[in-house]
Amino acid sequence: MNKNRFAKRVAAVAGCLFLCAAPEPARAQSSSPSLVQALPKAAPVSRPKRVPSKADDFAGLNLTDDQKAQIDKIHQSMKTRTDAVIKDEKLTPEQRDAMLAGYQRMERGQVFKLLTAEQQKEVRKRIRARHVAEQEEKKKQFPPK
């Protein structure tokens, strides 16, 4: 009797695997066309909100023309430095990544110093919100045991 139950289960699992493994055209031919047309389309799945990036911290600020010009100078000087680091063959990949990360931090710091007190307050608020969002993402990825 136990052997009979086991055989039935094995047959059922094998049947399911066979149906799932069948190629798509074979399944479409075996089903009736009316059933395929009658199935409603699934509603689009909304993506979860993305965590804001560091680049978003300065986006949307009302900058003066003078601030924009100074920021462009900072970008240009950092670009020449990063290009030199990228072309330097003496550096290991880890050293190169560390240097590039350091230059990005320097650039962000210099741009932050150009902002008015009110703009700095807004950027700090955005950074705090980004940190909170990153912490929430970490909690979702690695729930406590």
* Tens of pLDDT, residues 110-120: 999 999 999 99
pLDDT digit string, tens, across residues 42-99: 444 444 455 455 657 777 788 899 999 999 999 999 999 999 999 999 999 999 999 9
Write the burial class of residue 26 (CB in 10 Å: 0-12 exposed, 13-18 middle, 19+ buried).
Answer: exposed
With beta carbons less than 8 A apart as the criterion, state whether 133 and 51 touch.
yes
Residues 60 and 126 in one domain: yes
Residues 98 and 128 in one domain: yes
With beta carbons less than 8 A apart as the criterion, state whether 57 and 104 touch.
no
Domain-located, residue 46: no
Residues 30 and 79 in one domain: no
- Model confidence, pTM: 0.56
Residue 10: how many CA atoms within 13 Å on its side-chain side?
6
> For position 81, what pLDDT does the model report?
93
Q: Among 33-37, 108-112, 129-133, where is mean pLDDT lowest?
A: 33-37
Residues 87 and 134 in one domain: yes
Q: Which domain holds residue 17?
A: 2-37
Residues 18 and 60 in one domain: no
With beta carbons less than 8 A apart as the criterion, state whether 95 and 37 touch.
no
Q: How many domains, in total, are found in the chain?
A: 2
Residues 115 and 78 in one domain: yes
Residues 64 and 117 in one domain: yes
Can you give the chain as a three-state secondary structure string?
CHHHHHHHHHHHHHHHHHHHHCCHHHHHHHCCHHHHHHCCCCCCCCCCCCCCCHHHHCCCCCCCHHHHHHHHHHHHHHHHHHHHHHHCCCCCHHHHHHHHHHHHHHHHHHHHHHCCHHHHHHHHHHHHHHHHHHHHHHHHHCCCC
Domain-located, residue 132: yes
Task: Tell me what the mean pLDDT of segment 27-37 comes to.
Answer: 50
> For position 21, what pLDDT does the model report?
55
Residue 11 has pLDDT above 60, yes or no: yes
With beta carbons less than 8 A apart as the criterion, state whether 67 and 115 touch.
yes
Domain-located, residue 48: no
pLDDT band at 141 (very low <50, low <70, confident <90, very high): confident
